[in-house]
Amino acid sequence: MCLILPQIYQNMITMNRFFISTAFLILAVSGCKQDAKQEKPAEEAIAVIDTITYPQEKHLKNLRQLTFGGDNAEAYFSFDSKMVVFQRRDNKDVPCDQIYYGAIPTDNSRFEYKLLSTGKGRTTCSYFLPGNDKVIFASTHAKVDTCISDPDRSKGYLWGVYPSYEIYVADLNGNIIKQLTDNNFYDAEAVVSPKGDKILFTSNRSGDLELWTMNLDGTDLKQITNELGYDGGAFFSPDGKRIVFRASRPKTPEEITTYKTLLKDHFVKPTAMELFTCMADGSDLRQITSLGGANWAPFFHPSGNKIIFSSNHATKRVPFNLFMINLDGTGLEQITFDTVFDSFPMFSYDGKKLIFASNRNSGGTRDTNLFIADWVE
């Protein structure tokens, strides 16, 4: 959703772990009189509640973990729903997000995946093109081929929107076939219409982070949003007629100044976001949520009438879980019940599967893994 975004899950996981570790330490100090050396570390306490499934998750059947270790997120299906493309890093052999893809096992065999991006720079937000033999993704490798560091956390929780990102087309052997954008602005978060005719992405080429569309070959560029704030993580409806996205909307003079100052330095603060929808040309703009907190990573339900998304609106911190809501903002329903982080949901094109990223079953580590389930209405 691609927000997934280069630092989304890694920074959010770190923030989540900080809050959870703090909570466990508070409980240990206030509820026990043991010596400090006898208390279990917070990470061990988290491992106790690890699980792959929760009984309340009635919409998920046959939930399966696909990856084991590292940070894996923003997984999106091929048009035939047989493969997924995603971004990954492990802080060892792959210190900066790179793009991988693999076929979804039809039996109990292991999920195998291979590197698709160049292995240089930082990448984000990949998506299959029609035909399932090519992928689009954003990468900094042509301008900055080293790993761009995460934002300085002393300035708060930030995402980097670097001008070195450009959008590329690559085949499944990792060959760059075409560069779709070429400028000194942030161009990323690209997705493809189910109709197979348009690419939707975020860019600040007009001065603010807005949504744009273009043809599959990069022509016919059109800006479709135009309101101050970070518009991103957008996806098309199943029929390609509408889009859904998450956005920040700074209103007060202080909020506006902070937003503009950060953007000038190529950062945004994603702690207050709501969901919006509009037609694919930008008309009929509507706000879906007014929940508070961070509501993001939206994706259309197969019916086209609901949105599944990640949110921390209940606590404004952790956990982040998946929720579903009608397009008119009614009928909010919680879908997952993890204790830390669930996000980046996507339905398969046939509507039978849901894939998402989660910290569940991580053994108390900071790992984010991919999970896939049969969807049950």
- pLDDT tens readout for residues 39-88: 323 333 333 367 899 999 999 999 999 999 999 999 999 999 999 999 99
Q: What is the mean pLDDT of residues 285-295?
A: 98
17 phi and psi angles, rounded to 5 deg: -65, -35
Structure tokens at 260: 């503009």
Question: What pLDDT does residue 50 have?
Answer: 76
Structure tokens at 221: 């560029």
143 phi and psi angles, rounded to 5 deg: -110, -35
Instruction: Please give, one letter per residue, the 3-state secondary structure of 171-225.
Output: ECCCCEEEECCCCCCCEEEEEECCCCCEEEEEECCCCCCEEEEEECCCCCCEECC
Structure tokens at 172: 């499944």
Structure tokens at 333: 């329903």
- Tell me, yes or no, whether 3 lies in a domain: no
Angle at 345 (CA atoms; ends 68, 296), nearest 5 degrees? 115
- Note whether 198 and 190 are within 8 A (CB): no
Q: What residues contact 76, with CB distance under 8 A and at least 6 apart?
A: 1, 2, 84, 85, 86, 126, 127, 128, 191, 346, 355
Q: Within 10 A of 154 (CB to CB), how many other CB atoms are there?
A: 5
Helical spans, DSSP H, in 36-172: 42-48
- Tell me, yes or no, whether 261 lies in a domain: yes
Whole-number Å distance between alpha carbons of 37 and 259? 44
Nearest CA-CA partner of 294 in 70, 72, 11: 11
pLDDT tens per residue across span 180-220: 999 999 999 999 999 999 999 999 999 999 999 999 999 99
Whole-number Å distance between alpha carbons of 171 and 186? 23
Q: What residues contact 50, with CB distance under 8 A and at least 6 apart?
A: 360, 361, 362, 363, 364
Q: Is the pLDDT reported for residue 28 higher than 70?
A: no
336 phi and psi angles, rounded to 5 deg: -115, 160
CATH number of the domain where residue 174 is located: 2.120.10.30
Whole-number Å distance between alpha carbons of 310 and 58? 17
Radius of gyration of the chain from its Cα atoms, rounded to whole angstroms: 20
- Note whether 367 and 358 are within 8 A (CB): no
- Tell me, yes or no, whether 1 lies in a domain: no
pLDDT tens per residue across span 81-138: 999 999 999 978 899 999 999 999 999 999 999 999 999 999 999 999 999 999 999 9
- Considering its fold, how many domains does the chain have in total? 1
Domain assignment of residue 343, given as a range:
8-375
Q: What is the mean pLDDT of residues 275-281?
A: 98
SS3 95: coil
- Tell me, yes or no, whether 2 lies in a domain: no
Q: What is the mean pLDDT of residues 235-246?
A: 98
The overall average pLDDT reported for the chain is 89
Whole-number Å distance between alpha carbons of 298 and 301? 10
pTM recorded for the entire structure:
0.88
pLDDT tens per residue across span 303-343: 999 999 999 999 998 999 999 999 999 999 999 999 999 99
Q: What is the mean pLDDT of residues 20-44?
A: 33
Whole-number Å distance between alpha carbons of 357 and 344? 6
- Tell me, yes or no, whether 332 lies in a domain: yes
Q: What is the mean pLDDT of residues 216-239?
A: 98
